[in-house]
Amino acid sequence: MKQLLAAIALAVATSLTAAPIQSPSQFLGFEVGADRKLADYKQITSYFRMLDGASDRVAIESLGKTVLGEDMIMAVISSEANMRNLERIRENARRLADPRGLSDAQTEALVREGKTVVLVTLNIHSTEIASSQMGMEWAHALATATDEETLRRLENVVLLLVPSLNPDGQTMVTEWYRKYVGTRYEGGRLPWLYHHYVGHDNNRDWYMLTQPETRAMSRAIYHRWFPQLFVDEHQMGSFGPRMFIPPFADPIDPDVHPLIWREANLIGSNMAFRLEQQEKSGLIYGYSFDAYWLGGTRNTGWWKNITGLLLEIASARIATPIYIDPTELRGGSKGLVEYKATINHPNPWKGGWWRMRDIMDYERIASDALHEIAADKRADFLRNIVTRARAAVASAKPGESYRIPKNQHDWPTAQHLAWLMNEHNVEVFQAANGDYWIPMAQPYALFVKEMMEPQRYPEVRLQSGSDVLPPYDVATWTLPLQMGVTVEKTTVPADAALRRVTDIQPEKKEVIRRGESGRKPRVATYKPWNASMDEGWTRWVLETYGFTPKTLSPQQIKGDLPFDAIILPDVHKEIIATGRRTSPSQIRYEDEMPPEYKDGIGAEGLAALKKFVENGGTLIAFSDATEYVTDNFNIPVRNALAGVRSEAYANPGSLVRINVRGDHPVTRGMPAQTAAFLDSAIAFETTMPAPDIERWVLASYPEEGRDILLSGWVRGPEHLSRKAAAVALTYGKGKIVLFGFRPQHRGQTHATFPMLFNALYWSVK
Asked whether 287 and 335 are in contact (CB, 8 A), the reply is yes
Q: Which residue type occupies 133?
A: Q
- CA–CA separation, 345 and 280 (whole Å): 12
CB neighbour list of residue 119: distance below 8 Å, 6 or more residues apart: 160, 162, 221, 225, 227, 229, 230, 231
Asked whether 506 and 434 are in contact (CB, 8 A), the reply is no
Q: How many CB atoms lie within 10 A of CB 248?
A: 27
Rg (CA), the chain: 27
Whole-number Cα distances in Å, 748 to 596, 675, 708: 33, 12, 20
Superfamily of domain 38-390: Zn peptidases (3.40.630.10)
Asked whether 467 and 446 are in contact (CB, 8 A), the reply is no
- CA–CA separation, 618 and 616 (whole Å): 7
Residue 655, beta-bridge partner list: 677, 711
- CA–CA separation, 519 and 136 (whole Å): 53
- CA–CA separation, 741 and 698 (whole Å): 12
- Among 580, 579, 574, smallest CA distance to 628 is for 574
User: For the chain, which ranges sit under pLDDT 70?
Assistant: 1-18, 512-517, 584-585
CB neighbour list of residue 601: distance below 8 Å, 6 or more residues apart: 526, 554, 557, 576, 577, 608, 609
The SS3 assignment for 111 reads helix
- CA–CA separation, 446 and 256 (whole Å): 7
Decide if domain 395-457+472-501 falls under CATH 3.30.70.
Answer: yes
CATH of domain 523-584+591-762: 3.40.50.880
- CA–CA separation, 248 and 469 (whole Å): 13
- Which alpha helices (H) appear in 194-306, and where do they start and end? 212-219, 258-277
Angle of the 130-144 helix axis to the 41-54 helix axis, nearest 10: 10
**Model pLDDT, residue 521:** 96
pLDDT tens digits along 484-536:
999 999 999 988 999 999 999 999 887 766 656 678 999 999 999 999 999 99
Asked whether 562 and 550 are in contact (CB, 8 A), the reply is no
CB neighbour list of residue 684: distance below 8 Å, 6 or more residues apart: 626, 637, 638, 639, 640, 697, 723, 724, 725, 726, 727, 738, 740
734-739 and 724-731 beta bridge pairing = antiparallel
DSSP string, 362-404: HHHHHHHHHHHHHHHTHHHHHHHHHHHHHHHHHTSPTTEEEEE
CB neighbour list of residue 586: distance below 8 Å, 6 or more residues apart: none
Residue 637, beta-bridge partner list: 686
**Model pLDDT, residue 502:** 94
- Among 199, 46, 233, smallest CA distance to 130 is for 233
- CA–CA separation, 4 and 22 (whole Å): 30
**Model pLDDT, residue 328:** 97
Q: Where in the chain is the domain with CATH 3.40.630.10?
A: 38-390
- CA–CA separation, 482 and 451 (whole Å): 10
Q: Where in the chain is the domain with CATH 3.40.50.880?
A: 523-584+591-762
Kindly report the backbone phi and psi dihedral angles of residue 73, in degrees, each rounded to the nearest multiple of 5, phi listed first: -115, 160
Task: Give the HSE-up count for residue 29: Cα atoms under 13 Å, Cβ half-sphere.
Answer: 2
Q: Which residue type occupies 553?
A: S
